[in-house]
Amino acid sequence: MKHVIRLFAIGLLAVFGLTLLPLCRAAFAAEPEVINGMAAVVNGDVIAYSQVRALSAPREKLLRSQYTGQELEKMLKEAREAALKDLIDRRLIIQAFQKEKYEIPDHFVDQQVHEIIRESFGGDRNTFIKTLEAQNYSLGEFKQKETERMIVQAMRSKNVKRNTITSPTKVEEYYKKHRDEFTSKEKIKLRMIMIASHADTGNTAAQKALA
């Protein structure tokens, strides 16, 4: 009997699992409140739906002012998918940073926070802290977010430089193969200063003096 009940329970879980799967997939597009959960797992690091919503919120606000109905739902879904992709990219970059055992000194982060307080809060640290508290952030969490932002910026800059810098040897090889593009034929430049003649006056002496 217990065996039968167990099989029946497993069957119910399977049915409910299949029923809930489309709902989970539609979580990004659904308008009602969505319970927070895992949007993605990147090598063991969890990305929550709340993180996706927080990143896509400014874009969503703009979309709500421009679209309605099914078109709005479609645009919201695309915005959240793009936000999720960006969060996954960031997490991969941070993991690569940690794998290489790079470090950003604490005083760099402290200096950045100080600049934010100076530029955005007129140097008023108390207002800055109250703003963080209103957004349910602690100073430590804000510093962590800022550290991650600096890591992503530094790593992306590193990759751009690596891809755009060309070695002197390759530059020389390119020049030799395309020498004609960087050379031109010999040219003669002629410059003349013309002094108008006054044959009717016969004042050639004045013209010579002017020349």
Q: What is the pLDDT of residues 165-186, one digit of tens each?
A: 455 566 666 666 766 666 666 6
Rounded CA-CA distance 204/28 in Å is 93
**Residue 14: which residues within 8 A CB-CB, separation 6 or more?**
none
pLDDT exceeds cutoff 60 at 202: no
What is the share, in percent, of the chain residues with pLDDT greater than 90? 49
The residue written with tokens 């960006």 in the block is 86
pTM for the model stands at 0.56
Rounded CA-CA distance 123/110 in Å is 14
Contact 104, 151 (CB under 8 A): yes
Rounded CA-CA distance 48/151 in Å is 20
Q: Which of 165, 10, 11, 156 is nearest to 97 (CA)?
A: 156
Strand bridging mode 38-42 / 45-48? antiparallel
What is the share, in percent, of the chain residues with pLDDT greater than 70? 62
Q: Residue 87 is which amino acid? A: L
Rounded CA-CA distance 3/91 in Å is 45
Rounded CA-CA distance 41/21 in Å is 17
Q: Residue 209 is which amino acid? A: A
DSSP lists the bridge partners of residue 38 as: 48
Q: pLDDT at position 164, please? A: 45
pLDDT in tens, 60-98: 999 999 999 999 999 999 999 999 999 999 999 999 999
pLDDT exceeds cutoff 90 at 114: yes
The residue written with tokens 């760099």 in the block is 108
Q: pLDDT at position 31, please? A: 46
Average the pLDDT over 41-57 and give the result.
Answer: 93
